[in-house]
Structures are given as structure tokens and as C-alpha cells.
């Protein structure tokens, strides 16, 4: 990517990571955009979070749970998607604050927004105006249903899109039991696709010298992960339906009962099937089990056969036996078990930050690690900042802009 400007390098010299020296102006709220901004902040970008004066991002009020003192409660929802950012409060309808925003646009590499189509235009910041102010600006725009088309005007909320985009029809114990995924997956995927698109646009800017607009939506993000379920519909003409905790195209693959509990197994090849059946004394060569396709067609019989074999074992003993046989297996952990798991901790997936109100807190950490083979050293960012209080950095950001003006920029 092109070299950041000198003043940005100086401002962010202490921010390690591949995006160190780049500035992201984050006008988004709730989750999709803030998640994209957090991804870029984790990579070292300076992310300036613009919030509404008085109450800030909507997620500051989403709870319970709230933590901290009664006079200044902090929403754990907000804490989940805003680490490593700075906060400035701006009223985008106020002339003075619009002037601050205009200056920030001129000094940023990326602008992120998730307003409904047309809102930024009405505020005086159309795409054309943004690129007049900064031709190199990469703009990430996230909507609910897309930027055009007959339903582009609709507001997008995660669970609504999980239903509209078909994900709930694939999730649940059966066709009559549609369930949402346990996290706001449409928002999270939109943020991930958005960050991915921004990085591609920054690379393209090296060749063209110009920024461009990256567009995605909650609808697009979910259709984009239909994977093999999508091609079942578009190519095979089947309509996939929810079928609980067993894979629609592989057997045995899913959650199985055992003595006093349950375990998950994944028998994804004929070699694994042979090892599995040998370990548990199952007749793997009977006609109903001859191939994966046969086992899928006879899934109920496969499930009964596997659970009969598992009935003699408790979960811990069974997992040891499966591991010894080389069969991929695991248990279903609660989140407290996940965060206490040494494997999770070994991957840097928990981080400690010093919060202005809460003090030292632990957050789920970034999922990426970096390694430099030239030095045989890990270069992953290890120092992180807590999600900011509302307008915590407003004065310092304004001082930075003032210093630039006085410097003749």
C-alpha cells in the first residue's frame, strides 16, 4: 500500500501492525461497521470513531448486562466491537461539527458509513463531495438490503436479515423450528467483508492513485456464505432445510449422544470411516454404509448405530478413544469453558486492557497472528487500548487538526 503521509506516520508511530500509519474515519454505529473498524484498528490503523453527542453509538445503551458504577454504566455490547479506537462526538447536522468532519475527511485514508442510502447525500457528503475533498479516500458503505434494487430503502437488522436471507431456514432442529445463529452473524460477516474490500481498494489505490467506493450489505454477506447449501438450490434444484446437528452431505458428522453426555464427530472420508468403524466394532461394509452417499441416505440408521456404540462410554473416555483412532471429535463448550481453555489462551485470543471506568478488563482478542520468517519472530500486536468513552479523544483530535492548519496544510 502507498506510504502514509508524514503527519500520519508521526501520529501513529506507536501503533504496530500492517495498517500502521493509515487513518480510518468511522461514521458507523451498532455492529457491522464498528466490527470492520475494529478489524482495521487491530491491524494498526488509527480509527477515529465519530459518535452522536450526548448518547453516542446505540450500542452504548444495549443491555443488560451493564458493568461498572451505577452513575456510569458500561454496556458489554459496546465493549465487544470498539477496542483500539478513538472517540470524537460530532453533530453531523451542525455547521461547526461539519467543518471538523470535512477536515477529518481530508486527512483520512478510509471513511466508513452504514447509513441508509441517501442519508450522507442529504447531509452534504455525497460520494462526489467526499472525493472532491479527498480523491484518494476509500469509502466503505454497508447497508441492510443493498444500495439499489426495489427494497434498498429497508432498514437492516441482523435477525431480520438472517430470516430474509434464508439462514434461519437452515438453522434449527428441523424445518418447523427456524432458529437464528447465536451471534449477530449478518453484522459480523458484513464487517468482515467490508474490511476485506477496503484492503483490496487500498491496494488498487497504489496503481490508480484514486480511492473508490466499497459496497456490501447484510443481505449480500449472508448470501455470500450459503456455500454448498446455495449450490444445492441453484444447481441441484433442492431446497435445503434445517435438520439439527447433523451435516446434510456427510455422515456420520454431527452431535451424538453417549453415556451421560454428548460428543461431536466428523467422519469426512472413507479412510476415516474405516478407522472409526474398526475402533468401535461397527460393520462398516454393510450395504447401507458402503459409501458416504449411502450413509447420508440412511442417516437415521447411522445415527442409531453410532449412538449404540457410544453408549458404553462417558464423554471424556469417548473423546480419548476417538483421538487415539484419529477421528476428529470434540465437545460442546460453554463460553466460560472456552475462555478458561488453555488452547484459547495460547493463541492470544484473550487480551487485557485498561478501561477508563472499569479498570483492567479482559476482552476476546483479535483472531489474526503475524510471523516474520526473515527474523523468525512473531510480529503480532500485543498492546491494545480499551474501547473509548464517548468523546474521550475529541479534544486531542481537534488539537491534531489545529496543528495541521497552523503547519500550513
Amino acid 116: pLDDT: 87
Q: Is the pLDDT of residue 32 over 60?
A: yes
Confidence of residue 409 (pLDDT cuts 50, 70, 90): low
Distance of alpha carbon 29 from alpha carbon 27, whole angstroms:
7
User: pTM for the whole thing?
Assistant: 0.90
The residue ranges of every structural domain in the chain are 6-225+350-406, 253-330
119-133, 209-223, 314-328, 395-409: which range is least confident on average? 395-409
Distance of alpha carbon 320 from alpha carbon 322, whole angstroms:
5
Quick: pLDDT tens for 223-259.
999 999 999 999 999 999 999 999 999 999 999 999 9
Confidence of residue 123 (pLDDT cuts 50, 70, 90): very high
Amino acid 405: pLDDT: 81
Q: Is the pLDDT of residue 386 over 70?
A: yes
Q: How does strand 23-26 pair with strand 110-113?
A: parallel
Amino acid 315: pLDDT: 96
- 3-state SS, one letter per residue, for the chain: CCCCCHHHHHHCCCCCCCCCCCEEEECCCCCHHHHHHHHHHHCCCEEEEEECCCCCCHHHHCCCCEECCCCCCEEHHHHCCCCCEEEEECCCCCHHHHHHHHHHHHCCCEEEECCCCCHHHHCCCCHHHHHHHCCCCEEEEEECCCCCCCCCCCCCCHHHHHHHCCCHHHCCCCCCCCCCCCCCHHHHHHHHHHHHHHHHHHHHHHHHCCCCEEEEEHHHHHHCCCHHHHHHHHCCCCCCCCCCCECCCCCCEEEEEECCEEEEEECCCHHHHHHHHHHHCCCCCCHHHCCHHHHHHCHHHHHHHHHHHHCCCCHHHHHHHHHHHCCCEECCCCHHHHHHCHHHHHCCCEEEEEECCCEEEEEECCCCCCEECCCCEECCCCCCCCCCCCCCCHHHHHHHHHHHHHCCC
User: Does 6-225+350-406 match 253-330 in CATH topology?
Assistant: no
Amino acid 164: pLDDT: 97
Provide φ and ψ at 73, rounded to 5°: -70, 145
Confidence of residue 406 (pLDDT cuts 50, 70, 90): confident
Burial zone of 140 (CB within 10 Å; 0-12 exposed, 13-18 middle, 19+ buried)? buried
Mean pLDDT of all residues in 271-295: 96
User: What fold, for 253-330?
Assistant: formyl-coa transferase, domain 3 (3.30.1540)
Q: Is the pLDDT of residue 389 over 70?
A: yes
Amino acid 365: pLDDT: 94
Share of the chain above pLDDT 90, in %: 91
Quick: pLDDT tens for 311-365.
999 999 999 999 999 999 999 999 999 999 999 999 999 999 999 999 999 999 9
What mean pLDDT is reported for the chain? 93
Mean pLDDT of all residues in 130-141: 98
Share of the chain above pLDDT 70, in %: 96
Quick: pLDDT tens for 171-196.
999 999 999 999 999 999 999 999 99
Q: Are 40 and 147 in contact (CB under 8 A)?
A: no
Q: Is the pLDDT of residue 287 over 70?
A: yes
What are the residue numbers of the active site? 187
Mean pLDDT of all residues in 41-70: 96
Confidence of residue 8 (pLDDT cuts 50, 70, 90): very low
Structural class in CATH, domain 6-225+350-406: alpha beta
* Residue 302 CA: distances (Å) to CA of 170, 256, 305, 307: 21, 11, 5, 9
Q: Is the pLDDT of residue 19 over 70?
A: yes
Amino acid at each position: 500500500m502507498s506510504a502514509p503521509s508524514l503527519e500520519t506516520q508521526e501520529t501513529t508511530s506507536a501503533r504496530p501492525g500492517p495498517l500502521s500509519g493509515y487513518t480510518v474515519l468511522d461514521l458507523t454505529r451498532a455492529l457491522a461497521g464498528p466490527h470492520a473498524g475494529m478489524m482495521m484498528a487491530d491491524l494498526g490503523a488509527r480509527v477515529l470513531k465519530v459518535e452522536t453527542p450526548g448518547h453516542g453509538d446505540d450500542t452504548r445503551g444495549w443491555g443488560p448486562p451493564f458493568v461498572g458504577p451505577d452513575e456510569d454504566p458500561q454496556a458489554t455490547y459496546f465493549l465487544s466491537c470498539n477496542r483500539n479506537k478513538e472517540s470524537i462526538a460530532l453533530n453531523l447536522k451542525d455547521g461547526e461539527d461539519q467543518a471538523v468532519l470535512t477536515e477529518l475527511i481530508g486527512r483520512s485514508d478510509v471513511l466508513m458509513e452504514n447509513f441508509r442510502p441517501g442519508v450522507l447525500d442529504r447531509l452534504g457528503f455525497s460520494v462526489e463531495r467526499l472525493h472532491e475533498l479527498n480523491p484518494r479516500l476509500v469509502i466503505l458503505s454497508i447497508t441492510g438490503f443493498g444500495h439499489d434494487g426495489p427494497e434498498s430503502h429497508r432498514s437492516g437488522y441482523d435477525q431480520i436479515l438472517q430470516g430474509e436471507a434464508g439462514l434461519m431456514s437452515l438453522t434449527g432442529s428441523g424445518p418447523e423450528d427456524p432458529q437464528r445463529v447465536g451471534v449477530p452473524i449478518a453484522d459480523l460477516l458484513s464487517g468482515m467483508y467490508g474490511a476485506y474490500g477496503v484492503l483490496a481498494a487500498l491496494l488498487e489505490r497504489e496503481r490508480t492513485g484514486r480511492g473508490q467506493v466499497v459496497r456490501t450489505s447484510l443481505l449480500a454477506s449472508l448470501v455470500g456464505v450459503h456455500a454448498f447449501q446455495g449450490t444445492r438450490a441453484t444447481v441441484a434444484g433442492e431446497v435445503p432445510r434445517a435438520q439439527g446437528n447433523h451435516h446434510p452431505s456427510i455422515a456420520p458428522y454431527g452431535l451424538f449422544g453417549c453415556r451421560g453426555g454428548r460428543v461431536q464427530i466428523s467422519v469426512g472420508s472413507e479412510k476415516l470411516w474405516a478407522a472409526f468403524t474398526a475402533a468401535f466394532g461397527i460393520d462398516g461394509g454393510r450395504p447401507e454404509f458402503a459409501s458416504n452417499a449411502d450413509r447420508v441416505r440412511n442417516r437415521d440408521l447411522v445415527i442409531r448405530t453410532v449412538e449404540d456404540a457410544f453408549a458404553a462410554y462417558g464423554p471424556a473416555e469417548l473423546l480419548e478413544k476417538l483421538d487415539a483412532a484419529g477421528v476428529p471429535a470434540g465437545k460442546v463448550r460453554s463460553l466460560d469453558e472456552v475462555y478458561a481453555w488453555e488452547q484459547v489462551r495460547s493463541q492470544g485470543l484473550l487480551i487485557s486492557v485498561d478501561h477508563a471506568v472499569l479498570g483492567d478488563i479482559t476482552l476476546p482478542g483479535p483472531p489474526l497472528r503475524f510471523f516474520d520468517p526473515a527474523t523468525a519472530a512473531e510480529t503480532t500486536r500485543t498492546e491494545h487500548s480499551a474501547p473509548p468513552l464517548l468523546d474521550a479523544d475529541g479534544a486531542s483530535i481537534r488539537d491534531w487538526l489545529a496543528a495541521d492548519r497552523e503547519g500550513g496544510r
